[in-house]
Amino acid sequence: MYSYKKEIDSIQQMLNSFLETKVINTAHLSKMDALIKRSDLDQIKTLNSISSLNTQRVIFGAIRNINTSLKSMKEKLRTAALRHENPTTAEQALELVDSLSNVALCIDVFNSSEIDASEIDNIAKLSRILYKKAKAFGFSEDAQSQLKEACVTEAIVKSFISNFDSNLAMELDLEEEVKSTVKNNS
Amino acid sequence: MDFLKSQNLIDNTIITKTVEEEAKNALTGAVEKTIRNVAAPNLVSRYGIMVLQHLIFNDAMDKLDFYVEECSNRLSINRSQRESVKTKEIEPFLLETSKHTLRFIQPNIPGFISSSLRSELTDRILESLPTKGVVYKGMPGDKDLTIMAEATLIYRKFEGKEKVYLASNDNHFKPNPIQIGSYNSSSMYYTGELDSTVRDKIAEKFGFICEEPSKLLAILQEELKAKENTKKHT
């Protein structure tokens, strides 16, 4: 069975070898491709599952965080190699591996068995830690390129945000006043 | 929150764990409702929506983390004391108070009375407030009661020497807008007036003053100005 954790372990070995030799060997970066491709596909697969919306969101987010971190990491390592950088980027990448491993382990468990709601909350927490750490190290893609890649237009973004604002007002118990404003405007 | 940070009032701003959790729950609930509302006829558009919600949700969580970590302070809350204040003081007080409140004003005017006279009669009924009725949203939920108990404990921690404000847009906390007619009525409207009776009773009994965040900001700005003026004169 395919294992996210094993792939991360192999990436960790690659990064360690970069640090030992003090050279980023770009020929080895293709080791990251399998997991990038797999996580690309698994994001779509999650949307086709019968899980609850909350579970779909959390698993999609966790896989996406692994995917975008790795894509960005690969690109940064390639640029660092071109600059013949003393592998600071590899050091930073290695620091992210623990967070990647934690989320990868959860994805493996999710793929192999049914997990309960409390476990989903834990995945959400670990995934958020990965997101924050990746962002802090610069291993993240900018929002605009992510939206472009996902074919999300400006109109969709505007409509989603306006809808989100109304729903947030309802969640914050302002529902009556929101409804009344809508009525008065129409 | 940005204003409080800019004025170096971080130590005076408290976000309790319950409030933080409530904010997270509200963001999660809102994002999930939005996904359900937005039409995604195929897998490609659904993928786009999921990418978008992922970005928006994380951005909102980043902002929340910023407010919690950089703009506020957290005091210790004794959980058993909180439970005791909540169940033995706040809950019974609000149960009793909310027995004598109304969600909205429903003038009982017969249908044959013309609309101009109807609005005049409605105005007369409103003028008699609060003797005719106190407007309040009704009994708060469990999390709201917990937040009120936390505010009470914080007020008591300062032994009543400090003013404690609770910023909220929720009508269980802030003065309630006076509403004419039920939510289902097409002629329902707000008069623009606020009924602060329950808010004031809570403040009198438990010490903390609930207010809408934008109004609270204005109050704080005024208080800071007054302090500066006093400093200048001395």
**pLDDT tens digits, residue range A10-53?**
999 999 999 999 999 999 999 999 999 999 999 999 998 888 99
Q: What is the mean pLDDT of residues B153-168?
A: 93
Query: Which residue has better confidence, B80 or B213?
Result: B80
Chain B nearest-CA distance from A162, in A, is 9
Structure tokens at B71: 């703009």
Q: Residue B192 has what pLDDT?
A: 85
Across the interface, do B32 and A53 touch by the CB < 8 Å criterion?
Answer: yes
Q: Burial-class residue B215 by CB neighbours within 10 Å (0-12, 13-18, 19+).
A: middle
- Provide the pLDDT confidence category of residue B81 given band limits of 50, 70 and 90: very high
User: Cα torsion at A38, A44, A46, A49 (round to 10°)?
Assistant: -130
CA distance B30 to chain A (A): 5
What is residue A186's predicted lDDT score, i.e. its pLDDT? 42
Q: Which residues of A touch B32 (CB under 8 A)?
A: 53-54, 57
pLDDT digits (tens, 9 = 90+) for B166-182: 999 888 999 988 887 77
Percent helix, strand and coil across chain B, each rounded to 5? 60, 10, 30
Indicate the angle between helix axes A4-21 and A33-47, nearest 10 degrees.
150
Fold for the domain defined by A4-140: Four Helix Bundle (Hemerythrin (Met), subunit A) (1.20.120)
Q: State the span(s) of chain A assigned CATH 1.20.120.
A: 4-140
Q: What is the pLDDT of residue A44?
A: 94
User: Higher-confidence residue: A136 or B108?
Assistant: A136
Residues in A touching B171 (Cβ below 8 Å): 173-174, 176
> Quick one: tokens of A147?
């939206």
Q: A-chain residues within 8 Å CB-CB of B33?
A: 167, 170-171
Judged by CB atoms closer than 8 Å, whether chains meet at A143 and B35 is answered as no
B134 pLDDT tier (thresholds 50, 70, 90): confident
pLDDT (tens digit per residue) in B213-233: 889 989 988 888 888 888 777
Cβ separation of B50 and A163 shorter than 8 Å? no
pTM of the complete model:
0.83
> Complex ipTM, two decimals?
0.90
B187 pLDDT above the threshold of 80: no
Residue B57, pLDDT > 60, answer yes
A182 pLDDT exceeds 60? no
% of chain A exceeding 70 in pLDDT: 92
Mean predicted confidence (pLDDT) in B179-207: 85
Give me the pLDDT at residue B71, please.
84
